[in-house]
Amino acid sequence: GHTGQIFDLIVSADGKYLASACEDATIRIWNITKAGNYEIHTLIDDNKVNTVAYSLDNRLFATGGHSQKIKIWDENQGTLLKTLSGHQGVVEGLAWSPDAKLLVSTSRDGTAIVWDVESGTQRLVFDKHKKAIWDVAVSTDGSLTATGGSDGIVYIWDMQTGTVLNTLKADNGDVYAISISPDKKWLAVGYQNRNIIIWNISTGNPQYTLSEQITDSVQNVRFSHNGNILASVGDDGNLFLWDMKSN
């Protein structure tokens, strides 16, 4: 297994594989459909790996971290297909478009880059943030992108043009985690200051705040596939499941 702190975990869309990203500069792919230790690939990177993301068709996954590069891998063979260079800081977030043609990366350099995966070129650079961008989310139809980071601001923008559609501000410290509901109605944002705000995407207004029992920074939030459940984890070591149907 890994020999250092694991920074990210992601399960493939078909539920068969789990990818783990580690400070030991490796990415390990596990078959989770069988009992026991079924590691099928160990991939070596240049430096600590912070983030990993599977494409929805399970063909590809992307990794990024302290090398400041994004690497595209073949899921079945575990082979490196492409390396994308453009960031001037550690890569912190990755999110695919639904058709796996585009990939969004975010970095401590304060930029988000939309990549054309086939050509390996930059489609656009989003530079509204002035500090590190910790997380990124793409809507299920690929039309919206949301980014947030150290400036405490979330920008919702058009993935094709980079046009800002809404700007969400709250006095809650860094934005560490973002998730867009499947119906594009809600945006869940996890903050440094121990709470989660559910924003209305169309109006840009906060709908309600989830903070009960959260005692430390929120590090990750994810909507379920039907949008009925929101999962959150944080530095307090707790995992919460929130019933979104009752809110």
What DSSP line would sit under 87-109, residue for residue? -SS-EEEEEE-TTSSEEEEEETT
Tens digit of pLDDT at every position of the chain (247 positions): 788 888 888 888 888 888 888 888 888 888 888 777 687 788 888 899 999 999 999 899 999 999 999 999 998 888 999 999 999 999 999 999 999 999 999 999 999 999 999 999 999 999 999 899 999 999 999 999 999 999 999 999 999 999 999 999 998 899 999 999 999 999 999 999 999 999 999 999 999 999 989 999 999 999 998 999 999 999 998 999 999 987 6
Angle of CA points 36, 38, 40, to nearest 5°: 180
What pLDDT score was predicted for residue 247? 64
How many angstroms separate the CA atoms of 56 and 33, rounded? 18
Q: What is the pTM assigned to this prediction? A: 0.91
How many angstroms separate the CA atoms of 38 and 190, rounded? 33
How many angstroms separate the CA atoms of 200 and 185, rounded? 6
What pLDDT score was predicted for residue 158? 95
Matching residue, tokens 């058009």: 158
Q: For residue 167, what are its two tokens? A: 């700007």
In whole angstroms, what separates CA 93 from the centre of its chain? 5
CB atoms within 10 A of CB 195: 20
Q: For residue 62, what are its two tokens? A: 């992307």
Q: How far is CA 233 from CA 8, 194, 211, 240, in A?
A: 12, 11, 12, 6
Note whether 104 and 92 are within 8 A (CB).
Answer: no
Q: Is 55 exposed, middle or buried (0-12, 13-18, 19+ CB in 10 A)?
A: buried
Note whether 133 and 174 are within 8 A (CB).
Answer: no
Task: Order the strands of the 186-191 sheet from edge to edge.
Answer: 175-180, 186-191, 196-200, 206-210
Q: 64 phi and psi, to 5 degrees?
A: -155, 160
What pLDDT score was predicted for residue 159? 93
The sign of the torsion formed by the CA atoms of 10, 14, 16, 17 equals: negative
